Amino acid sequence: MSRPYNKLLDADKVLIFMRILRDSGVTNMLGAPPYLRTQFPGMTKQEAMDITLAWFGHAPETVDLSVAYDKKYKDFFDTIEAFEPKFRRL
């Protein structure tokens, strides 16, 4: 079982997830909060909304997806790959 969401420890992962979610095209980014809360158990509705609103204030292209090849993120990317088919069901 993975640990619950931690605002400081998961900051990079949240940005990466938001970039992947946006690029997937499955939702308008205003619809991101339920996807965030599914991917990051323990995240509150308010945290998900705050992250989504903050997303609009930064340049998504600056999120470096090359970390997908970084060993420390391997488990995280495996969970996103497992989660992707669920995108359409939320």
Per-residue pLDDT of 50-74, as tens digits, reads 999 888 887 666 666 666 555 556 6
Quote the pLDDT of residue 46: 94
Residue 15 has pLDDT above 50, yes or no: yes
Quote the pLDDT of residue 42: 94
pTM: 0.69
What's the rounded mean pLDDT across residues 31-49?
93
What are the φ/ψ torsions at residue 33 (nearest 5 degrees)?
A: -50, -45
Burial 8-34 (b: 16+ CB within 10 A, else e): eebeebbbbbbbbbbeeeebeeeebbe
Q: Which of 37 and 1 is assigned the larger pLDDT?
A: 37
Residue 47 has pLDDT above 70, yes or no: yes
- The residues spanned by each domain of the chain are 22-89
